[in-house]
Amino acid sequence: MKLYWKLVLMQLKSQMQYKASFFMTAAGQFIVSFTAFLSVLFLFSRFHEVQGFSYSEVLICYSVILTAFSLTECFVRGFDVFPRLIRGGDLDRILVRPRSEVFQVLTSHIEFSRLGRLLQALAVLAYAIPTSEIVWSAERVAAVFLMLAGGVAVFSALFMLYAGLSFFTIEGLEFMNIFTDGSREFGMYPLSVYGEGVLKFYTYCIPIALFQYYPFLYLVGRSDDVRLIFLPLLGFLFLLPCYAFFRFGLRRYKSTGS
């Protein structure tokens, strides 16, 4: 861990060499995310609830998934840009170093400018919590943290799956954005509003609902089943097949020698 934080600090220092560029990029991330927030605001200015969920409740759902996605994009960005490592020959250098390939990919690209999007998500969450009329308890506070942890795990697994596919395609597959950026956009609202088919897909195929929807039901008092707050932990199980697929691709990787 000491080496990890040392490399993180090195990445931060290198990006801060161009402070104006860094802060402008972070501000751009904030503004882009703010437009998504405005779409929620305009919807609720016309309709006061969506499938029985209030504006503040939807904002909690929105901010939780955006926070998890922003943290993943910041610290697991190396897997999202993994095709560049293959095309540029950087993966060859990674393979001959005496460190885990996953560790090196994680620390190869950390995008601190994504903190602009994270700041916006935290600001929305800070607004939504006191206005949501949720009766807070230790279980509900734990639910929020588990939702965030599960979200980071699921999005990290999706980035790792994307990296694994790159071994066979070289170029990144843009359709994977349906499951990463698309899931972030879908997650602005409780997944049940899109219908049973979408909810089942995001429960059994891409387990976004395990950290976004089901613990949210307990959080806002739609369910009394306290076991729902532990469902985000299943997101860590989703890491296992995605990691196995990444290792499968890595074992079959053949360098061009260039």
Exposure on the CB side of residue 232, measured as CA atoms within 13 A? 25
Q: Which residues contact 122 (CB under 8 A, 6 or more apart)?
A: 63, 67
CA quadruple 211, 212, 217, 221: dihedral, nearest 10: 100
Both tokens assigned to 256? 């061009």
Tens of pLDDT, residues 60-93: 988 899 999 989 988 898 888 888 888 878 888 8
58 has pLDDT over 60: yes
244 has pLDDT over 90: yes
pLDDT band for position 214 (cuts 50, 70, 90): very high
CB 22 within 8 A of CB 112: yes
Three-class secondary structure of residue 257 per DSSP: coil
Q: What percent of the chain has pLDDT over 90?
A: 28
Q: What is the pLDDT of residue 144?
A: 92
| Main-chain dihedrals φ then ψ at residue 51, nearest 5 degrees | 50, 40
Complete DSSP assignment for 144-212: HHHHHHHHHHHHHHHHHHHHHHHHHHSS--GGGGGTTHHHHHHTTS-GGGG-HHHHHHHHHTSTTHHHH
Scan for tokens 């954005």, then name that residue: 177
Which of 24, 26, 21, 12 minimizes the C-alpha distance to 117?
26
**Considering the chain, what is the average pLDDT of its residues?**
86
Residue type, 203: T
Tens of pLDDT, residues 118-138: 888 888 888 888 888 888 889
172 has pLDDT over 60: no
The pTM of this model reads: 0.91
Rg over alpha carbons for the chain, rounded to the nearest Å, is 19
Scan for tokens 């990006």, then name that residue: 15
- The residue that leads in pLDDT, 201 or 31, is 201
